[in-house]
Structure 1
Amino acid sequence: MKRAVRYICLVVGAVSLVLGVIGMFLPMWPTTPFLLLAAACFVRSSERLYTWLIEHERLGCYVRDYMSGRGIPRRAKVVALGTMWVTSQASWMVIMAHVGVRGWTVGYAVLLFVVAIAVHYYIGYHIPTREACSEELPEAEG
């Protein structure tokens, strides 16, 4: 049974890693949650892959900084918040262009705006900001 769980964690970790990398290029597709899931799976299935992910030049900082409580790099915050605002407004404009002004479309626009403000406030003011990725590497757990 332990062997099966290990392989399942390995597969889920690999899929999460791919989804996290895709998130670096697609707007509104998360990166950090997928990379955190990959790290959690790799720590249970492959010490080599976990170490590779944590020490990776581009991907490692997302996991290391989150795990240490140091926050998110400034550039990641700016990109995430900017993308959120652009895509939420584009979504609202597409709906209004195709459907027109109706009660539910106005409600949708208000909901989008309220959610965007809440996310902006949380990411902008509650999560610490880092200027760059940290240099310290955490010890491998497991």
Structure 2
Amino acid sequence: MWKPLLIAIGLLSLICGAIGVVLPVIPTTPFLLLSAFCFARSSEKLHNYLVSHRIFGEYISNYYNHAMTPQHKFRTLLMLWCGIILSCVLIGATVPWIVLPIIATCVSIHIIRLKPRPDATPTATTVNAPVEDSTSEPRFADDHRA
């Protein structure tokens, strides 16, 4: 009974998260996390698709690992502050000029304190680096033997 509802909510939040990737005023990560939550409880296939997705999977991985690459931190902070300043200018009242920067400062501190996550792209030296195995001869990273 709950599975179709969770799948529908997951798909709707996935669409909102996808829109949030290109529109800075819509938060991406909360929608993707809601999708992951719904899919984890309703469809293993959709959950696996989402967490292994080339774009969306990285948002979820960053959240699960409490880590971001330096490039993501920079982009996130830049978009956060541009959005806050634009919001304050468009609203024009005094209260947003006080409240929104305080919220943005707290979020910025949280983002800055996240541990750095190295880029996920392998280098030529790590692809063929030996993998130590205590039970047999050395294997290489691109060797898929168990």
User: TM class, shorter-chain normalised?
Assistant: 0.7 to 0.9
Partner residue of 2:5 out of 4, 8, 12: 8
Partner residue of 1:25 out of 22, 34, 38: 22
Question: TM-score, with normalisation over the residues of structure 1?
Answer: 0.75
Assess if the C-alpha contact under 8 Å between 1:65 and 1:72 holds in 2.
yes
- Cα deviation, residue 14, structure 1: 0.5
Moved over 4 A (4+): none
Determine what percentage of the aligned residue pairs are the same residue: 32
Residues in 2 aligned to 1:134 and 1:11: alpha-carbon distance in whole angstroms: 34
Are 1:121 and 2:109 matched, yes or no? yes
Deviations 1:30-75, CA, capped at 9 Å, x for gaps: 11111111111111111111111111111112212322x2412333
Stretches of structure 2 lacking an aligned partner (at least 5 in a row): 123-146
Residues in 2 aligned to 1:73 and 1:8: alpha-carbon distance in whole angstroms: 35
Partner residue of 1:59 out of 43, 56, 61: 56
SS across alignment from 1:24: helix
Residues in 1 aligned to 2:2 and 2:58: alpha-carbon distance in whole angstroms: 27
Partner residue of 2:42 out of 33, 45, 48: 45
Which structure has the bigger radius of gyration?
2
| Cα distance, 1:41–1:133 mapped onto 2, change above 3 Å | farther
Aligned length: 122
